């Protein structure tokens, strides 16, 4: 009787084909999910950054306005 080696058998080839058929869709699906999550994270981060910049801009403008008001008040008191 001839001995069949496992790596040359149909069973091994079937296992390899099934493995490849499972790995390719899983890897593609994972890449798509990672891309979507990355896009969502970038969008949220950009929105947060723009909100922080707007808040800092408002704070700076209020500070400048207060300094101008204080200078005007001091000038009125001096003159």
11, two tokens: 């069973």
Q: Please tell me the predicted confidence (pLDDT) of residue 11.
A: 84
Three-state SS at 9: coil
Per residue in 28-60, pLDDT (tens digit) is 999 999 999 999 999 999 999 999 999 999 999
Is a pLDDT exceeding 70 seen at residue 2?
no
Which residues, 6 or more positions from 12, have their beta carbon under 8 angstroms from its beta carbon? Answer: 6
pLDDT of residue 9: 78
Other CB atoms within 10 A of residue 12 CB: 13
Residue 48 or 77, more confident: 48
Confirm whether pTM is higher than 0.95.
Answer: no
- Tell me the average pLDDT of the chain: 91
């Amino acid at each position: 009787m001839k001995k069949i080696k496992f790596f040359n058998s149909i069973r091994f080839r079937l296992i390899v084909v099934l493995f490849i058929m499972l790995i390719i869709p899983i890897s593609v699906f994972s890449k798509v999910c990672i891309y979507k999550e990355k896009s969502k994270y970038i969008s949220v981060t950009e929105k947060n950054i723009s909100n922080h910049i707007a808040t800092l801009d408002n704070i700076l403008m209020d500070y400048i306005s207060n300094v101008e008001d204080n200078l005007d008040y001091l000038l009125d008191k001096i003159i």
